[in-house]
Amino acid sequence: MLTAYRRHLAGCDSKDKGQSYTLCACPIWAYGEVNGARIRKSLQTVDAARALRLIEQIERGDIEVERKVPDTEAAATEFIASCRDRNLRESTLSSYANTLKPFTAQCGKLPVNAIDTVTLDAYRRERKIAPGTWRKELETLRAFFAWCGERGWCDTNPGRKLKMPKSEDLTTLPFTSEDVGKLLAATSQIFSDNPAETDYIRRRAKALVYLLLYSGLRISDVAPMKRSMLEPRTRHLTIRILKNGVRLKVLLHQSAVDALTSLPATNPAYFFWTGKGEIQTCIGNLRRTVQRLGVLADVHAHPHRFRDTFAVELLTNGADIRTVQKLLGHTSVRTTEKHYAHFVAAHQALLDSAAATLDFERASGSGPLLVKPLHNRRRNA
C-alpha cells in the first residue's frame, strides 16, 4: 500500500506543520510497498484528488513504477549502519565491514539486483582465501543480500545458490597443561622498548592470560571490560547481561582475581583500555601481546585458543554442554556441539558403551554374526 504526503518546498509557510498537512500547494509524493518493492517517488502533481487516482492505478498495476535500486557500495554502507542501529557487537560490525570492503571494491558500482551467482563465483575465484575464511565471508554475503531483499532491492539471494566449501579448518585445538605453563612463564619475559613500562607490560600480560583462561571471553570482550564487572570478594565476573536483564557471571580462579586487581589502572574505569582512541586499537594491542607470548613460549598462541581451552576443560570435567553454551554466549547449542561435542565425557562414554556391545566372534561357524541369519532367511524364503 502507498501513502501520499506533501513534500514541502523551502519557501512553504506550512513546512513546519509536517508532511501530513495537505492544505498547501507543494508537490505530492508517495511511499510504501507494491508487490514487494519499496517505493518513494514524486507523483508529479499538486492536486490531491489526482494523486489518489494515481496511487490506485499504481497499486492495481496499471502504471508500472521503476524500482530505484542503489548500487552495491551504497547498499553495503546502509547495511552496516542498520547493523549498528541494531546494537550488534563491535566485533561483528568489524567482521561485516572487513568482508564487504573487498566485495564492494570489485562490485560496488553494480546495482544490487545485478549481482548474480555468476558474479559471486567470479569474485570467489579471485579472493584466493582459505575455505574456512570463505565460509565466514559467504555467511556475511548471504545476510547482506537477505537484508537487501527485505527492502525490495533484489528478488533473489545469490549467496544462497553458492554451496559452502568443505573445510577441515574446524578442529578445536585447546592448549595443553604444558602450553599453559609456558605461556604463564612467558609473561615474566615479555618486555617493552621503554624499560620503565616493562613491569606494567608483564603484569598486564599475566592478567590477560589468566582472564582468557578462566572466563572464556573473546578478546573483543576483554578489551573494553570495566573494573566494575569484577566482584573481588566473591570472585564473580559479569560476562554479559542476558535478554531478561539478569547478569550472567562466571566464578574466576583466585589467581585471575589477584592478577586483575593488582593491575595498575591507566584508566580507573577499565582493566586494559586507556579510554582514549578506538577500542579496536586496544583489541589489536592485546592480540599482539598474545602473539608475542606465543613466540617467547614457543607455542602457537591465538586468543581463540584460550576460549577453546576454557570450553574443553569444562566439558572434560563433566560440565553439561548447555552450561558451556551459556558461558560462551553461543546463540544456539548447535554451535557449541559443532566445535566441542567430541570433548563431552558423557558423550564419549555413550559411544564406547554402544561399541562395546558388538562381538562378531561369538557366533558359531566361520561366517560373521550378522551374515548367517540373513543367509538363512533368504534360503528359507
pLDDT of residue 15 exceeding 90, the answer is: no
For the chain, percent of residues with pLDDT exceeding 90:
37
Within 13 Å, how many C-alpha atoms sit on residue 225's CB side? 25
Confidence band of 377 (pLDDT split at 50, 70, 90): low
Top-confidence residue, 328 or 208: 208
Domains in the chain, start-ordered, CATH in brackets?
A: 2-60 (no CATH), 72-161 (1.10.150.130), 177-343 (1.10.443.10), 354-381 (no CATH)
**CA 66-70-71 angle, 5° bins:** 125
Q: pTM value?
A: 0.62
pLDDT of residue 185 exceeding 60, the answer is: yes
Q: How buried is residue 305: exposed, middle or buried, by Cβ count under 10 Å (0-12/13-18/19+)?
A: buried
pLDDT at 369: 47
Please check whether residue 52 is in contact with residue 59, taking contact to mean a CB–CB distance below 8 angstroms. Answer: no
Tens-place pLDDT, residues 301-352: 999 899 989 988 888 888 888 888 888 888 787 877 777 776 766 566 766 7
Q: For residues 95-112, give the mean pLDDT.
A: 92
Other Cβ atoms closer than 10 A to 167: 13
pLDDT at 252: 93
Instruction: Tell me how far apart the terminal alpha carbons of the chain are, to the nearest angstrom.
Output: 69
Q: How buried is residue 35: exposed, middle or buried, by Cβ count under 10 Å (0-12/13-18/19+)?
A: exposed
Confidence band of 363 (pLDDT split at 50, 70, 90): low
Q: How far apart are CA 80 and CA 32, in angstroms?
A: 23
Backbone angles phi, psi at 25, to 5 degrees: -110, 30
Tens-place pLDDT, residues 126-172: 888 888 888 889 999 999 999 998 887 888 899 998 888 876 555 56
Confidence band of 81 (pLDDT split at 50, 70, 90): very high
pLDDT at 273: 92
Within 13 Å, how many C-alpha atoms sit on residue 51's CB side? 22
Q: For residues 239-253, give the mean pLDDT.
A: 74
Top-confidence residue, 353 or 264: 264
* Mean model confidence pLDDT for the chain: 84
pLDDT of residue 25 exceeding 80, the answer is: yes
The C-alpha cell 605453563 sits at 181
pLDDT at 265: 87
The C-alpha cell 557449541 sits at 336
Nearest to 42 by CA among 74, 4, 98, 79: 4
159 Ramachandran zone, left/alpha/beta (phi>0; psi -120 to 50):
alpha
Tens-place pLDDT, residues 266-310: 899 999 999 888 888 999 999 999 999 999 999 999 998 999 899
Confidence band of 50 (pLDDT split at 50, 70, 90): confident
Largest CA distance in the chain: 103
Q: How far apart are CA 48 and CA 50, in angstroms?
A: 5
Please check whether residue 39 is in contact with residue 18, taking contact to mean a CB–CB distance below 8 angstroms. Answer: no
Residue 343 to residues 168, 213, 293, 324, 326, Cα–Cα distance (Å): 18, 17, 27, 12, 17
pLDDT at 184: 95
Top-confidence residue, 201 or 56: 201
Q: For residues 104-133, give the mean pLDDT.
A: 89
Other Cβ atoms closer than 10 A to 310: 22
Residue 115 to residues 77, 137, 347, Cα–Cα distance (Å): 16, 16, 45
- Kindly report each contact of residues 189-194 with a partner whose C-beta sits within 8 Å and lies 24 or more positions away, as own/partner: 189/296, 190/289, 190/292, 190/293, 190/296
Nearest to 28 by CA among 11, 52, 10: 52
Nearest to 75 by CA among 136, 139, 152, 133: 152
